[in-house]
Structure 1
Amino acid sequence: MLEVAVIEDPSAAEVSLDPVRARLLAELAEPGSATMLAARVGLPRQKVNYHLKTLEKHGLVELVEERRKGNVTERVLRATAASYVISPIALASVQPDPARSPDRLSARWLLALASRLVSDVGSLITGATRARRRVATFALDGEVRFASAADRAAFAEELTNAVTALVSKYHDETAEGGRDHRVVVAVHPSVKAVTEPMTQTKES
């Protein structure tokens, strides 16, 4: 099972977004049969089996083993990945294009860059998986607390200068056999997880 799988096919994306099928994918992080899943999700076995066949058809679940029980063969399935990302390629005609309106201070342009990142890396993963090779990538993730908007602006300026200097140092336009790499650096406010308030019960 993969840790993350990228869904590029529009029909597979549509299948995965169905609430029942999404629940079955989550349940199939561990192998299970239609009978086992029917008891967990509260649906008839025939209906669960129909959804499983659809998921299998689109490569979202895979057969692990077949068990013979009397005159019945029980098929045990498992999700092909622990989690899934739908690539913007699945909506190719309307996927964001960062080149359309580049603005490094625009949140929507940042979103377009992130969309292209998912699309590009997803395609690289798909190709590397078929070739049974690894993709050479590198990423940093962290948080910084700014005391003021002025500090944030100064940080952005210093970061821009530092990255520009590094790119100028290592970029070699004439390198034979060299391979282009895309560099994406982003700064955005952190999103804090919202915790639901606890409900209080009156004591009798």
Structure 2
Amino acid sequence: MLDVAVIDDPAAAAVALGPVRSRLLAELAEPASAATLAHRMGIARQKINYHLHALEAHNLIEVADKRQWGGLTERRMVATAASYVVSPAAMGPVAADPAKSADRLSASYLIALAARAIREVSNLLRRSQEVDKRLASLSVDTEIHFKSASDRADFTRELTTFVAGLAARYHDPVSPGARPHRVLILAHPLPAEQPASKPS
């Protein structure tokens, strides 16, 4: 089972986003049969089977094992991932795209950058899995409590200067084997209801 699977097919996204089917995906973090799911969710087994077939057709679940009960074969299904993300690619030509935003300081531009990262990294991850190779990536996630807007502005200026200098130091577009990497730095206020954690 993958930690995270990215759904980039519009039909698969439509299947996964149905309330009953998304609940089934959550229930199938561990293998279960249609009969077990029907009892657990209070839904007729025939309807459960209908939804399971739709999920299986889009590779969102798979057969974990089969059991013989008398003359019948019972299949236990399991989700193909612990969680799922719908890629902007599933939206086709209306997908978020940083190139469509003129204001690089807007929240819309930040969202478009994050959407592009999901699209690009999911494609790279799929290719690395096909060749059984680990995808080299880096993530930094921390929280900062700014005491004032001026402190936030000073931090932004210092960070920009530092990153620009670091990029200039290591950027080498001419050496044989040099491979371009995308570096994103995003910052936004935390939602009020989210408890703050200590910086790491």
TM-score normalised to the size of structure 2?
A: 0.94
Task: Name 1:45's counterpart in structure 2.
Answer: 45
User: Distance in 2 between the 1:159 and 1:106 partners?
Assistant: 18
Which residues of structure 2 form unaligned runs of 5+? 196-200
- Gap change, CA 1:175 and 1:88, over 3 Å in 2: same
1:10–1:91 CA contact under 8 A, matched in 2: yes
2:68–2:74 CA contact under 8 A, matched in 1: yes
Task: Name 2:33's counterpart in structure 1.
Answer: 33
User: Distance in 1 between the 2:146 and 2:106 partners?
Assistant: 19
User: Distance in 1 between the 2:152 and 2:185 partners?
Assistant: 15
User: Distance in 1 between the 2:100 and 2:175 partners?
Assistant: 30
Letter of the structure 2 residue corresponding to residue 155 of structure 1: F
Question: 1:119-134 to 2 correspondence within 5 Å?
Answer: 119-134=119-134
1:5–1:85 CA contact under 8 A, matched in 2: yes
Letter of the structure 2 residue corresponding to residue 46 of structure 1: Q
Moved over 4 A (4+): none
Deviations 1:39-96 (A, max 9, x none): 0111011110111011011000010111110121100110000000110011121111
2:7–2:86 CA contact under 8 A, matched in 1: yes
User: Distance in 2 between the 1:165 and 1:15 partners?
Assistant: 46
Cα RMSD, aligned residues only:
1.3
Q: Secondary structure of 1:146's partner?
A: coil
1:64–1:76 CA contact under 8 A, matched in 2: yes
Aligned-residue offset at 1:99: 1.7
Task: Name 1:16's counterpart in structure 2.
Answer: 16
User: Distance in 2 between the 1:83 and 1:171 partners?
Assistant: 35
Task: Name 1:190's counterpart in structure 2.
Answer: 190
User: Distance in 2 between the 1:4 and 1:167 partners?
Assistant: 30
Task: Name 2:80's counterpart in structure 1.
Answer: 80
Letter of the structure 2 residue corresponding to residue 129 of structure 1: Q
Question: 1:94-133 to 2 correspondence within 5 Å?
Answer: 94-133=94-133
Q: Secondary structure of 1:99's partner?
A: helix
User: Distance in 1 between the 2:167 and 2:116 partners?
Assistant: 20
Q: Secondary structure of 1:188's partner?
A: coil
Letter of the structure 2 residue corresponding to residue 45 of structure 1: R
Indicate whether 1:178 and 2:184 are aligned: no
1:28–1:79 CA contact under 8 A, matched in 2: yes
Identity %: 51
User: Distance in 2 between the 1:160 and 1:103 partners?
Assistant: 17
User: Distance in 2 between the 1:194 and 1:110 partners?
Assistant: 20
TM-score normalised to the size of structure 1?
A: 0.92
Letter of the structure 2 residue corresponding to residue 72 of structure 1: L
2:31–2:77 CA contact under 8 A, matched in 1: yes
Q: Secondary structure of 2:145's partner?
A: coil
Task: Name 1:161's counterpart in structure 2.
Answer: 161
Q: Secondary structure of 2:100's partner?
A: coil
- Gap change, CA 1:73 and 1:10, over 3 Å in 2: same
Aligned-residue offset at 1:175: 1.3
1:88–1:118 CA contact under 8 A, matched in 2: yes
User: Distance in 1 between the 2:27 and 2:46 partners?
Assistant: 17
1:31–1:76 CA contact under 8 A, matched in 2: yes
